[in-house]
């Protein structure tokens, strides 16, 4: 019975991971499409501003190109960072699901209430530790991504 339940749990875990992966891919595609649209809007806005202020020709195209390029670089950095964060959370989900399968098997082997309590306490501690470590790695990824995007933005504005 424990083997059948563990197999069903493993199948559910794989299905859940597949669904999460598809959702992450869809979110990535939506992010990229939104970034392209925002870049186009920025180009139109800078172009209209240049026409309004009387800046024309080569200067307007150069300003538009620089603004759009800087925005695209920053957006690419942010998109890559979000992809890294998504990958970290997907990895956490996969580890948690695998641990849950193993935990279920360990619980099925318990014969007394004290064994069950010890096993549950160990499982809770391991799951909590994994979650905390994953959250720490996610925070580091977000900080690194933010710093990199800020650096790109700063480089673009000082080059303009």
Q: Report which of residues 159 and 151 the model is more confident about.
A: 151
* 28: pLDDT strictly greater than 80: no
Range of the domain at 67: 2-159
**Average of per-residue pLDDT across 115-123:** 89
d(CA 45, CA 148): 25
Structural domains in the chain (count): 1
Query: Percentage of residues in the chain with pLDDT exceeding 90?
Result: 4
At 34-74, the pLDDT tens digits run: 767 766 776 777 667 666 766 555 665 666 666 666 667 77
Residue 93's pLDDT is 81
Residue 68: how many CB atoms within 10 A of its CB? 19
Is the Cα torsion angle 81, 86, 89, 91 positive or negative in sign?
A: negative
Question: Contact at 8 Å (CB) between 137 and 86?
Answer: no
User: What value does the CA radius of gyration of the chain take, rounded to a whole number of Å?
Assistant: 25
Question: Contact at 8 Å (CB) between 141 and 92?
Answer: no
Helix 113-159 vs helix 57-109: angle between axes, to the nearest 10 degrees?
A: 170
């Amino acid at each position: 019975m424990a083997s059948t339940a563990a197999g069903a749990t493993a199948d559910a875990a794989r299905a859940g991971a597949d669904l999460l992966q598809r959702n992450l891919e869809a979110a990535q595609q939506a992010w990229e499409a939104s970034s392209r649209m925002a870049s186009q809007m920025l180009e139109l806005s800078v172009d209209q501003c240049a026409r309004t202020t009387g800046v024309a020709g080569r200067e307007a195209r150069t300003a538009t190109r620089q603004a759009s390029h800087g925005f695209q670089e920053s957006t690419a950095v942010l998109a890559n960072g979000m992809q890294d964060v998504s990958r970290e959370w997907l990895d956490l989900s996969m580890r948690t699901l695998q641990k849950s399968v193993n935990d279920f098997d360990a619980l099925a082997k318990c014969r007394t209430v004290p064994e069950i309590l010890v096993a549950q306490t160990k499982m809770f501690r391991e799951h909590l530790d994994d979650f905390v470590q994953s959250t720490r790695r996610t925070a580091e990824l977000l900080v690194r991504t933010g710093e990199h995007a800020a650096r790109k933005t700063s480089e673009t504005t000082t080059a303009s």
